[in-house]
Structure 1
């Protein structure tokens, strides 16, 4: 036996490397004694949990699989995949968190704090609306689309209607020029707008049917009955389908995006029956059909729902609009809008219901490409969103798109120079005073051109609504003269280049008088808001203070001019820009917001062209419609 003094204890030292610390702690283990021999303790292994080579990202509600529980572990310099125990690892909530991984080996235990992210379900959209065959900037739009798709290949491209009408491209090619570019840009969906029904007859819509059949994308149309149309009926299906076929119309389409089903349905304004030529097409109530669509999607397990809408953002609520749709139909998450040409620089959120609805719209004529990025939780509720309008004019033109458009553009140029079949016996001037208030100007004086334009507006408006008594045109919308001699299409387009549609306002006499005061309030200084008129006469006294200058205002009724009565109501035609309150016409804006404006959907330059053809010969004439009695 050894004495207590000479007793020997052999102690070994073991190192364990912990990944969560910059300092490697030392673990001591007492070696076993032997009565027969003495020995040196074996060196214990060094172990380390290695951090994941890429960030841990999960979808909310995602079930963790076996592979999610394996990490690389380094044991004495050798790396092996090993199952680890996790604590605080859950996918129930969206956000950034930290979990702890634990690994044990031969009595040793090491841990590692691992950051991880739980994401919602993303939906990325590009959108256009009311392009109205304006194709000059389409190749630049193609560049923007391609760049955005390079950043996110899952980003959808959707059009909210009114590709038809508004330019020479449409007059000549009936949408096929537009479609060539849309197919190249790989649009994913479109809803028909009211102008898609402009060319209809009692038998149906052959041009629109051809447009649909040649499209390399499907259409969504949920409140339109095509059964009476011999051309469109065969292209329409009442299904909510997850396997849509290009060149077909569907009640709704289901797409799987970022691992979740998303439902898309389409709505077209019921006012199409009044402002287009739908022929046998019937339009159903937008609220009823939207509720049916949402219910059908929910029954199929779809809780992320998008309405592609051609109702108008804030159009007449007595008819239909997107704000009313969002308020009255629960379950719509996103509305991609059109029809009202609204420039929504950022998304508008309607939060009246249990869940918010995000509304977007991208102005008009393809000037902008809208973007919207939405994140949903696992229950289909929006948790975040961001969106903006991209000015496509800032992009270089896509070379392929330019080459695709070139044959159409060449034909259009010859049409632009073609005579329309009308002649001016003398020039219709469009004077400006260049700062000299003693000189005449279209922006402060009656002009023969202003009279001609408003005469055409009144003539067309009366055909649509016999109660219209007068027409007005803001001077800022008249941009160029008409030369003497044969009139060309190009001249008409240059005179009225903005493609505004014709609208009818129902105004109180007091509102009309207030607007007329605003028209002459800065005279003799030029104003783009100065109003030219037909079916109405105004006398004002420029020596009086602003807003108290109107001496007499009369409208033409039954062939005679009668005084405007403040308490009576009048139907006045104007362009849609002015009807929405453009040029600071607060009286018109109020009528618009109260649903007293009806957009007739007819483009201004086309109205002027048709009126000139109807007259054949026109002579400039100033008739004393607007007089300063000073």
Structure 2
């Protein structure tokens, strides 16, 4: 007689043999880019890397460049079967490549990659809806026909991009197929920032981001699309919060905040990441959401891998960023030794993110005529930087900790943490000097986000100035009271501290005015000890006195939520008409020995700061 347990095992074995095998997880790979800002050329970077004796020493290499990004995306496509190439916005504005040809160079290079979708960033609207349409027309001239997305833009009735005039030019979402699976991709544009810190046409508005995204998620899922990618330009912090507010999103590929994500090993190489790549969040029902971003300026390409089960649920978020470097390590202008080179390349490989990769030759060929025109215009040396002049929007350590293109050399510099950006302060100084030349001025005010790059130690060329100040702004003189000046400062700081907005670009920098700021106080009590400079002496700002203020026309029109300035009209507003980049060029050319230095501690407008707790 066969024992019962033996018969039971036999039956279970038979049933196991008849069971339907479970399908293997479906893997989607996303190669992504964001916030290129017309930085199409490679740029130098210096990193502490291990040489042959194991010591970390500064090594310079080329990094980034759109042709290198194109090469990375091509490599990812060649290695993986189900790949989407996505652009998370702000392709435009930030370099002479844009200023010279209204984005045609950007469009031409994007057409060498053929992105599967792009979302609109705030800077796509910097020259109005007409400027955006010119870029989209140029993008459409190529072979790619990249879908351009934004679920929350509402083009005004007179906009050249209104759907009645340009049907399909911008869509809320698109559905792409890879490996027999349909993937919904939804575009999202940061609403408040674009409305108030860019220049969309009158009548063009931006709906609530979460509501717009959820509407499209529901629509796509009703069509049977069970894999949803949100291609977002909201910023890393807000995109994590957005994930928790939505039901049914699987992936958020982000932009706007220029956030470096990656392994902790990058900190050893003076590139401290703001979080892991990928960052894992959860939607409103607790389901896994993969959140990624790929730094800035074509310095990096993200490679996200997402495993889905048969029901379309995310099983795993994986992948890594590719921080793109050249095979050209050197010190003091000279190539390193063969032994040091081998050790340096090994250290790069050990980082888990730093990748040596050659530029794509076809992309370089497309860029060549634009580069020739840019170099001819921008090659003139106008000054020298005595040392690095660092970019930082908000002082302290909480709200803007990784803005600098120079990495920890600036991001962790004590004076930058204490006072904010050197370059923003010097731009304010330049505006004040030019304002005094053209009719008089007491104070100049600059929004931190209007200044775009660091100025590294060494030669400053015309092209660097236009990369620093890439917008088509002119200077305006306003007459206003001390009380209105304080109200303006409070206007500027409010969106920086509002958790629902967190737009750092409005943080104020001034020349001729300084203050202490407490980031923990309520609106109206954040600025104290406001002092104005008079003939080399600092004295309290008089709320009742009248002062002449120099600002860009963008701020004078209320941009970046500088609402008080928008009320200054009539005889109290004089449009000087001087191009703001030209004002900084003139400032540099007038410097003693044409040498630019960081401000002294007492010359920063943020004289003291209590960091956000």
Q: Could you tell me the TM-score, scaled by structure 2's length?
A: 0.56
Question: For 2:98, what is the secondary structure of its paired residue?
Answer: helix
Q: Distance in 2 between matches of 1:480 and 1:295?
A: 52
Q: Deviations over 1:100-132 (max 9, x none)?
A: xxxxxxxxxxxxxxxxxx312221110000001
1:178 and 1:624 map into 2 onto residues whose CA distance is: 39
Aligned counterparts of 1:330 and 1:468: Cα–Cα separation in 2: 46
Partner Cα distance (2:489, 2:289) in 1: 30
Counterpart residue number, 2:573: none
2:236 alignment partner, SS class = coil
Matching residue of 2:140: 213
- Which residue of structure 2 lines up, in the alignment, with residue 609 of structure 1? 581
Decide whether aligned partners of structure 1 residues 618 and 158 sit closer, same or farther in structure 2, where only a CA change above 3 A counts. Answer: same
Q: Following TM superposition, by how much is the alpha carbon of 1:395 offset from its aligned partner in structure 2, in angstroms?
A: 0.5
Q: Is 2:94–2:469's contact at 8 Å kept on the other side of the alignment? A: no
Assess, with a 3 A threshold, how the Cα gap between structure 1 residues 352 and 459 changes in structure 2: closer, same or farther: farther
Correspondence for 1:534 among 505, 511, 531: 511
Q: Report the alpha carbon displacement of residue 613 of structure 1 after superposing the two structures with TM.
A: 6.2
Corresponding residue of 2:278: 347
In 2, the alpha carbon distance for the partners of 1:491 and 1:132 equals 14
Q: Is residue 2:360 matched to residue 1:398?
A: yes
Change in Cα spacing, 1:562 to 1:298, as seen in structure 2 (3 Å) is farther
Of 366, 371, 377, 1:409 maps to: 371
Match status 1:333 vs 2:250: yes
How far off is 1:133 after superposition? Answer: 0.8
**Residue 288 in structure 1 maps to residue 211 in structure 2:** yes
Structure-2 separation of matches of 1:260 and 1:156? 12
Partner residue, 2:31: 126
Matches within 5 A, 1:57-68: none
In 2, Cα distance between the equivalents of 1:356 and 1:558? 58
Equivalent residue number for residue 429 of structure 2: 455
Q: Over the residues paired in the alignment, what is the CA RMSD in angstroms?
A: 5.0
Q: Confirm whether residue 492 of structure 1 aligns to residue 459 of structure 2.
A: no
Q: Which has the higher contact order (CA 8 A, sep 6+)?
A: 2
Question: Any stretches of 5+ residues in structure 1 without a counterpart?
Answer: 1-84, 94-117, 239-247, 315-320, 433-441, 461-466, 513-530, 540-551, 565-572, 574-596, 601-605
- Return the structure number with greater strand share: 1
Shift of 1:417: 2.9
Per the alignment, residue 430 of structure 1 pairs with 386
C-alpha distance 507-407 of structure 1, shift in aligned 2 (>3 A): closer
- Structure 1 equivalent of residue 226 of structure 2: 303
Match of 1:149? 77
Unmatched runs of 5 consecutive residues or more in structure 2? 1-13, 42-64, 263-276, 326-355, 389-414, 435-442, 472-487, 498-507, 517-527, 542-549, 551-559, 564-577, 605-613
Q: Which structure has the bigger radius of gyration? A: 1
CA offsets per residue over residues 24-80 of structure 1, 9 Å max, x none? xxxxxxxxxxxxxxxxxxxxxxxxxxxxxxxxxxxxxxxxxxxxxxxxxxxxxxxxx
- Following the alignment from structure 2 to structure 1, what is the Cα–Cα distance between the partners of residues 462 and 92? 18
Distance 1:477 1:163, change over 3 A: closer
Superimposed CA distance per residue, residues 156-211 of structure 1 (whole angstroms, 9 cap, x where no aligned partner): 1100000110011111122221222221122111001111111116x674423423
CA distance in 1, matches of 2:127, 2:73: 30
Q: Secondary structure of the residue that 2:428 maps to in structure 1?
A: helix
Partner of 1:135: 40
The reply to whether residue 158 of structure 1 matches residue 86 of structure 2 is: yes
Aligned partner of 1:359 among 291, 296, 302: 291
State the alpha-carbon separation in 2 of the partners of residues 478 and 221 from structure 1: 34
Please say if residues 324 and 357 of structure 2, whose CA atoms lie closer than 8 Å, have aligned partners that are also in contact. yes
Q: CA 1:556–1:145 in structure 2 vs 1: closer, same or farther (change >3 Å)?
A: same
Is the CA contact (8 Å cut-off) linking 1:504 and 1:598 kept in structure 2?
A: no
Helix, strand or coil at the partner of 1:626: helix
Aligned residues: 412
- The alpha-carbon deviation at position 599 of structure 1 amounts to 12
Distance in 1 between residues matched to 2:181 and 2:464, nearest whole Å? 52
- More deviation in 618-627 or 127-136? 618-627
The offset of 1:397, in angstroms, is 1.7
Contact 1:323–1:350 (Cα < 8 Å) also in 2: yes
Is the counterpart of residue 373 in structure 1 residue 305 in structure 2?
yes
Say whether 1:265 aligns with 2:265.
no
The Cα of 1:556 is off from its aligned counterpart by 3.3
Equivalent residue of 1:119, what SS?
coil
Deviates more, 1:342-351 or 1:156-165: 342-351
- Deviation at residue 256 of structure 1 after TM alignment: 2.3
Deviation at 1:389, TM superposition (A): 0.7
CA displacement, residues 375-430 of structure 1 (integer Å, 9 cap, x when unaligned) = 111221101120211022221122222211111111111011369xxxx8xx7763
**1: distance between equivalents of 2:529 and 2:364?**
52
SS in 2 for 1:250: coil
Q: What is the aligned partner in structure 2 of residue 254 from structure 1?
A: 175
Deviations 1:526-548 (A, max 9, x none): xxxxx996244599xxxxxxxxx
Match of 2:172, SS state, is: strand
Cα distance in 1, alignment partners of residues 213 and 512 from structure 2: 42
Deviation at 1:221, TM superposition (A): 1.4
SS in 2 for 1:383: strand
Which of 168, 181, 185 is equivalent to 2:96? 168
Q: CA deviation at 1:498?
A: 12
Distance 1:614 1:627 in 2: 20
Q: Distance in 2 between matches of 1:305 and 1:192?
A: 18
**Is the partner of 1:389 in helix, strand or coil?**
strand
Q: Which has the larger share of helix?
A: 2
